[in-house]
Structure 1
Amino acid sequence: MEYTICELFAGVGGFRVGFEKSSLDWKTVWANQWEPSKKVQYAFECYKHHFQASGGIDEFSNIDIAQVPANHIPNHTVLVGGFPCQDYSVASTGAKGIQGKKGVLWWEIERILEAKRPPFVLLENVDRLLKSPATQRGRDFGIIINCLGKLGYSVEWRVINAAEYGFQQRRRRTFIFAVHNSTNYYKELGKQDVYEELQHSGFFSSIFNVENFPQEFINSIDIEEKYKLDTLKISDSFKFDFKNSGIYRNGVIYTVETIPKNLLTEHQITLQDVLEKYVDEKYILSDEDLEKWTYMKGPKAIERTSKEGHKYMFREGGIAFPDPIDKPARTMLTSEASKNRSTHVVSDIATGKLRLLTPLECERINGFPDNWTDTGMTESFRYFCMGNALVVNLIEHMARKLHEIIEKEKLKQEYNDDYNKEIATTQITEQ
């Protein structure tokens, strides 16, 4: 078994940066990045700029993933990707079966998994994936788990806030780890009970520790018994209160709300740790802008009129202004380049004046190397890319764990091969 990766929806390479920081053994054999409706593919060009120069990839793909035949993608050990959160409902249309797929990108992942069956899968999505859609809570994630189960995978998930494990951004994301049931890792894990996997020994719980919780707090639902693993039935009627942690194995979903217990680092990385000492004057807020920013960040009570004509009060709480630099950064959004309520404003270290973050600081907030996106893209798109990115520090820890798992798979396979050769030799000798 090799340390090979296929990276889908690659962006500017967050998964790959994290994997390669963890070990030089990892080799990305194929990557796809496509930004719909963009004339210039800045993210793809950034990815290609860094990794083509290293000579570490056989092929880049910059077309709609739906246009890529599955047999065009090389075999790989780990499939990774941060796919957008969309509506994953399906519809039945007579003899044609299930179609009407709206969550297009998830179905492309399923298509590739069905064809390639990599031993391991690591995906990232927004935290609200577990609760969507609002009209049928848990349906979308239920569909994803059901699809993976039908393909022979067991699943573990965790909503992780990077700051709660010592890192520099309060960014909550859902991570999904799927392992094929044919692996030795799954067979060993299957010997342990559900509580142990969720509390100590699972993929996420063994990296990102959690406080002890009572076993009776675990909720479950048998989707194989209740829905027969039928994707259409799941889409039509499945509802479930997914908590921030859980596993799926043998047709049953188990979930529990966990509390982080940070044993990864003694030092909490803060916004101050990533700020530049000297920045260009263009990032400093003008006196004229300061009034606008103060209003946007402050609390509001505004009378509005609905479409039906009745008046109501729109209320909005205040945001810390400026952002405290002795804490991790708030979640960075794709709107970071704009004058927006969610945009970070900090007190400049050198002058004490209020200013915006620089693109380099935004890269640091996600754990990327300095000037990673300084590859010819516009400054506003550099901010956009970081608003879309994941916190690389988390991926580095996950990649180390995966390396350990695959190493054991290799040793087990080598042992089995040697054992089978020995048996074969003994049988020939006896004959």
Structure 2
Amino acid sequence: MANQRQIHIKLEENLHTKLRKTSKDKGITMQEFVTKALNNELYYQSELNLDTHSFTFIDLFAGIGGMRIAFEAAGGRCVFTSEIDKFCKKTYFGNFGEVPEGDIAKVKESDIPDHDILVAGFPCQPFSIAGVSKKRSLGKEDGFLDKTQGTLFFDIARIIKEKKPKAFLLENVKNLRSHDKGKTFQIICKTLEELGYKVNSRILDGHHFVPQHRERIFIVGILEDIQAEDPLESLPLPEPNHKVRDILEKEVDDKYTLSDKLWDYLQSYAKKHREKGNGFGFGKVNLDGITRTLSARYYKDGSEILIPQKGKNPRRLTPKECARLQGFPETFEIPVSDTQAYKQFGNSVTVPLVTAIAEQLVNNLHFNKEKVKS
């Protein structure tokens, strides 16, 4: 065991209680928790030079931190983060040394630090469109508060209204644009415009950066009084030239190979739907091509992305390969079960795509011209 030195620190009682509870929930000692947090902080201070950064940002509905990696790479410092899923929080802590705040609905907007950019990969919930006249007759508030109350987007809107960041980047599934015949998306954009922002959106495919077909909608807003080119319109996209074989591990445990029972089921299921004229079925990958979209249900049977193997049944991707497929760095830790890892990477963003958007947004806002001290 390496030589160890002791330090003695005093903590406020509420912080000590929180530290003890969090350590217990994670199944580690308080010393292990603090050591991990210090190591991560020192790493980021040295690697990213956070003493001077171009801008600050907050990371809402953070998942496992894909958006954070992207915006830190663009020169930002994260000053607040929230995520409700306990397994995502474990992965987040393992990589950033921080435990995100929990339910954002329970966090007062006034308690969130000031920031330059808000980023959020928020879940899509149905929006209730009530008649404004009826609300007014009942003495209730209309406008953005009325239209988005009760949805997770409301929490983004109330924080933007309070903090007025210079810009924001929101990410969601492609179908958000057509949800409820386009009404949901219309409300989102109108809400953000009412808050004083120039809003634009664009559906982008991750296959420009990784060997995966993954279309997502990105929404950017910039304060109306800021003169800046829209980053989605000016975003340079490289020609897709990635291959699945480039992200595969050299040695893979046999546990990822499909059982005969599961493989027979997937083949018969696909055959049945082909006979009906449907396109449902498994996705056996061309190793020199790209994959289908990795989804959060991948843990169930891996059917949408199956890797062919010589002389035996195809296999699932490993969690490490899922991380690579989403463009996470090689050093990214996966401290959870395979099932949770599949869910997490299936719900995550394609990191290099978001990094490209973040860099374009930062360049257009000229943050790089005015360094900010921590």
Q: Say whether the 8 Å CA contact 1:299–1:317 is kept in structure 2.
A: no
Q: Which residue of 1 aligns with 2:359?
A: 400
1:75 aligns with 2:114: yes
TM-score, normalised by the number of residues in structure 2: 0.76
Pairing partner for 1:167 from 206, 210, 219: 210
Specify the alignment match of 2:244 in structure 1: 271
Match of 2:22 in 1: none
> Which residue is 1:417 aligned to?
none
Encode CA deviations 1:368-427: one digit per residue, 9 max, x unaligned.
12473521x22101000011011111011112112312336856xxxxxxxxxxxxxxxx
**Conserved in 1, the CA contact under 8 Å of 2:94 and 2:333?**
no
2:140 corresponds to: 96
Provide the secondary structure at the position in 2 that maps to 1:323. coil
Question: Using the alignment, how far apart are the partners of 1:297 and 1:373 within structure 2?
Answer: 35
Counterparts of 1:311-350 in structure 2, within 5 Å, are 316-319=278-281, 321-339=283-301, 342-348=303-309
1:176 paired residue number: 219
Q: Do 2:362 and 2:368's aligned partners in 1 also have CA atoms closer than 8 Å? A: no
Q: Which has the larger radius of gyration?
A: 1
* CA spacing shift, 1:297–1:344, aligned 2, 3 Å: farther
Conserved 8 A contact 2:172-2:216: yes
Check the 8 A contact 1:153/1:179 in 2, yes or no.
yes
CA distance in 2, matches of 1:155, 1:409: 22
CA gap 1:289/1:18 in 2 versus in 1, 3 angstroms: same
Structure holding more strand per residue: 1
Identity over aligned residues, as a percent? 30
1:27 aligns with 2:66: no
1:364 aligns with 2:337: no
Contact 1:86 1:103 in 2 (8 A): no
Equivalent-residue separation in structure 1 for 2:317 and 2:347 (angstroms): 16
Aligned residues: 312
CA distance in 1, matches of 2:83, 2:193: 27
Task: Return the alpha-carbon distance in structure 2 between the equivalents of residues 96 and 320 of structure 1.
Answer: 50
CA distance in 1, matches of 2:209, 2:155: 34
Q: In 2, distance between residues paired with 1:146 and 1:5?
A: 23
Q: Is contact 2:283-2:304 (8 Å) kept?
A: no
Relative to structure 1, the CA distance from residue 2 to residue 18 in structure 2 (aligned partners, 3 Å threshold; closer, same or farther) is: closer
Distance 2:368 2:243 in 1: 38
Unpaired runs of 5+ residues, structure 1, are 36-40, 190-201, 209-261, 303-313, 412-431
1:46 Cα deviation from its structure 2 partner: 1.1
Q: Distance in 1 between matches of 2:271 and 2:113?
A: 52
In structure 2, relative to structure 1, the CA distance for the partners of 1:344 and 1:102 (3 Å cut) is farther
Aligned to 1:113: 160
Q: Find the aligned partners of 2:80 and 2:174 in 1 and give their Cα distance.
A: 27
Choose which of 267, 275, 278 in structure 2 pairs with 1:294. Answer: 267
Residue of structure 2 in register with 1:4 after alignment: 56
1:125 maps to 172
Q: Which runs of 5+ in 2 are unaligned?
A: 1-52
Q: Is the 8 A contact 2:209 2:353 kept in 1?
A: no
Structure 2 contact 210–326 (Cα < 8 Å) conserved: no
Cα distance change, pair 162–285 in 1 and its aligned pair in 2 (3 A): same
State the superposition RMSD in angstroms: 2.6
| Partner AA of 1:292 in structure 2 | Y
Gap change, CA 1:408 and 1:3, over 3 Å in 2:
closer
SS of alignment partner, residue 162 of structure 2: helix
In 2, distance between residues paired with 1:111 and 1:287?
Answer: 52
Q: Does 1:390 align with 2:349?
A: yes
Question: Which of the pair is proportionally richer in helix?
Answer: 2
2:15 aligned residue: none
The equivalent position to 2:190 in structure 1, one of 116, 139, 146, is 146
Structure 2: distance between partners of 1:5 and 1:128:
27
Q: Deviations over 1:15-38 (max 9, x none)?
A: 011222x34x31000000113xxx
The reply on whether 1:205 has 2:256 as its aligned counterpart is: no
